Structure 1
């Protein structure tokens, strides 16, 4: 593809472009290098390296100099997204973007499952990677940078995926990564405190998520909104300002309304009103909040054109996402679960939800990631202390911070918690405390298979460690 085709402007000279990247180390001969300004470094400083590696052109903000043809744009991140979409032109016919603080992964997986059950070739993209029956790819970020994003969309479409539910993180939306995705549906779960290490304020955080509805959703698209989630009314107002139709879900929902949710040992007994009819469903999902995610997923699928009757009849068949209120094993009549909750609201929601499935006591293991929003740590501790009978504070992914200092900040909110830095030891301690009817909920890492200490990532999987601890405990008990 010629640079002029890629940039949609007349350029001379007009070199052939064989690839795109924002990483100067990944530049090969014939590539366009996007010199983006980052938090810690400026891509313009790496233009000489890109030139040396054989770059054919540069994308940069105005005023950046190079011996190569330069595409100037005051918003080069958005321009890169547009170029990536032209370089990798295929997308699934229906793409639903899902944003919110909590519940994005489960909602995306549920929507993909519903579409699949209805006979479509469907997939999801997000924290767990890009997945479908015909395509799978791990991803480094919830919402990849534009080149990887559109390369993946193109590959999924070529593989036959027609319906895709993808997570749209606030970082990605602020950085224009998904700006060239053809969103037919935009969905909102909720908004609570998170990522204030990146966003200047909570209002800035909400504005980033709001871009999915105010700027990226097509004018013929539909917004699906969990009306029980914090911030829902603000999203309704954004949609109303653009005259976009909405599908509103949840207890406060208008279109897919939750009439009742009764947790039991095997899942959730739901009663739902939709399109004038009342439906009953009993999906094997743990945690009443999963009803919000399931109904929002149903709203997404209906917004994309499916008949409400057909969607409602498939809710029984939903399966939980890995690391999201996932049942792991039983120990002496007690159950062990893992969940990805890593914000104050998510911790409170997960623990309150698991309580309904626990006739006995609730034991929680919490931790917090290093080099991330520090203000939420004592709030996470408070949430755990409020909703659990026993709290164990352990290391999560300390990264470059002092693990003991992170734990101390968490314990400001739960001063009576057990402080056990070694995560494996903490899990073994929690398992050893279980008796009949008790629940151990290991929070924070969910599906993750590694623990980052400093700049290294060591193999660590909460589920595997819990299974080993349970096995050892049962041997001890004979």
Structure 2
């Protein structure tokens, strides 16, 4: 495929033939286009001499990259493409290179709830007979499955996966749109029919540096990626929802609102909670609907209705959508029932790793629990440090028993991370070893109590000092319950 067919124009008007795309210099083969992208530590242009030696037929970079590698490029036969936004250009080129995508594509962004909404949307589609997948934090799941290393992968990985899914007969796909992925234009080549906004709270300030920059990245899904004839599904319960709704109106996009207030298209009227789930009553176009949700947590109703809104926005009949909501199952690592003690006390695992998510998870569990709420939680290293005391305060405000432990300390001193959390909840118990903390949390449970293990959710490893050790919260919870209740493992 030529550079011009990929939407790229090289200096000097050269229209080189391209044999493939690469962002990893080690993967470059003769004739390939290498995207030399700016990075947080190193500019990809540093590797241009290496890829030219490997036979790269073209290089895509920004003006800074062209300056860095000017010497190597001067005598090279490779075509040079210089643009202000090389990430966006790569995303569009990857879409053209791989070509095929599932016919119906939606994306969801927000601080919390992305995985649940994407998964519920896929489950709704599949219950209605559509071959569907969801892509994100838990990988690619559904009618075709594969692992992913990032919530929103790089454009080459993303479009390779979308093309493979389409080749396997997948017609519907729901994907998570992370703020990093949006800021780095990874979704720019995805053809969306609809996009959703869940909420906006503190996270990733280590990357975005300010709330304004973080929100601007999220908003990019609606201002840049979703076309003007797309539909925006908004959870109006969030204070930032009004800004997303205004973007939709200004661009002429259709708007489908979810919430509890007057005027919402999908309006929650009432919820009734019990030990295994909840009954939900809502309205659609003025008509009352009542469904059973086998999901723990009041916030799940909002996630479910946002997913229902995406399904409706992509052409599914509303009555058919509402008729399958009782078939939705818990998303792995999201308010997942991990184990139950012989005395009836339940242990839940949730990915809550922000102050708002911890508060939301604990408040959502409370109506389902007759006794005490116990929480085991920590905070990740090499991430936003300001949220650590806020997480401690959120847990102290909404749980009865607190155990502060390690999450993924990464390169930081785990004790310092725990100390920052404990500063806001001095009455908590500190147990650095996460397995021991979970065991002690389970040991606290009496009849009617519940334990929330927060932070790692679906993750199967714990990162300490650059090493990923096998660790699964659900597995550890099951082992703890078995050990304490004398059950065989």
TM-score class, shorter-chain normalisation, is over 0.9
1:59 alignment partner in structure 2: 60
Which residue number in structure 1 is paired with residue 107 of structure 2?
97
Q: Which runs of 4+ in 1 moved over 6 A?
A: none
Residues in 1 aligned to 2:7 and 2:411: alpha-carbon distance in whole angstroms: 40
- Counterpart CA distance in 1 for 2:344 and 2:318 is 40
1:393 equivalent in alignment to 2:404: yes
SS in 2 for 1:59: strand
Deviation at 1:313, TM superposition (A): 1.2
Aligned to 2:5: 5
Give the whole-Å Cα distance in 2 for the aligned partners of 1:43 and 1:418.
46
Deviations 1:215-258 (A, max 9, x none): 11111110000111231111111111112110101213611111
Which residue pairs with 2:266 in the alignment?
Answer: 256
Q: Give the aligned partner of residue 442 of structure 2.
A: 431
Note if contact 2:9-2:81 (Cα within 8 Å) is conserved in structure 1.
no
Shift of 1:7: 3.6
User: Partners of 1:12 and 1:236 in 2: how far apart?
Assistant: 43
Structure 1 residue 125 corresponds to structure 2 residue 138: no
329, 345, 357: which is aligned to 1:346?
357
Aligned to 2:277: 267
Is residue 2:26 matched to residue 1:25? Answer: yes
Give 2:163's aligned residue: 154
When residues 4 and 229 of structure 1 are mapped into structure 2, their CA distance, relative to the original with a 3 A threshold, is same
* Structure 2: distance between partners of 1:46 and 1:58: 11
* 1:295-330: CA deviation from partner (whole Å, max 9, x where unpaired): 100011111111211111111111111000000111
Provide the secondary structure at the position in 1 that maps to 2:193: strand
TM-score by length of 1: 0.97
Equivalent of residue 145 in structure 1, options 129, 136, 154 = 154
State the Cα distance separating 1:171 from its structure 2 match: 0.6
Shift of 1:29: 2.3
Are the equivalent residues in 1 in contact too, given 2:229–2:252 (CA < 8 A)? no
In 2, are the aligned partners of 1:185 and 1:304 still within 8 Å (CA)? yes
In structure 2, the CA distance between the partners of 1:160 and 1:420, relative to structure 1 (3 Å rule), is same
Is 1:239 equivalent to 2:266 in the alignment? no
1:368–1:396 contact (8 Å) kept in structure 2: yes
Matched, 1:461 2:472: yes
Structure 1 residue corresponding to 2:318, chosen from 303, 308, 327: 308
Query: 2: CA distance between counterparts of 1:337 and 1:287?
Result: 11
Contact 2:8 2:89 in 1 (8 A): no
CA contact (8 A) 1:251 1:259 kept: yes
Quote the Cα distance in structure 2 between the aligned partners of 1:160 and 1:302.
21
Deviation of the 1:23 alpha carbon = 1.3
8 Å contact kept, 1:27–1:50: yes
Work out the CA distance in 2 between the residues paired with 1:300 and 1:344: 27
Aligned CA RMSD, in angstroms, stands at 1.4
Q: Separation in 2 of the partners of 1:9 and 1:371?
A: 39
Q: Which residue of structure 2 lines up, in the alignment, with residue 208 of structure 1?
A: 217
Return the offset for 1:8.
4.1
**Is 2:330 the partner of 1:320?**
yes
Deviation at 1:181, TM superposition (A): 0.7
| Separation (CA, whole Å) in 1 of partners of 2:310 and 2:487 | 49
Cα distance, 1:200 vs. partner? 2.4
- Any idea what the Cα deviations from partners look like across 1:418-470, whole Å, max 9, x if unmatched? 11000000000001111111101000000000000111101000000111111
Distance 1:44 1:180 in 2: 23
Shift of 1:149: 0.8
* Contact kept? 2:9, 2:15, Cα under 8 Å: no
Q: 1:174 and 2:183 equivalent?
A: yes
- Between the aligned partners of 2:162 and 2:140, the Cα distance in structure 1 is 9
CA contact (8 A) 2:95 2:190 kept: yes
Unaligned runs of 5+ residues in structure 2 are none
- 2:54 equivalent to 1:43: no
Q: Does 1:229 align with 2:215?
A: no
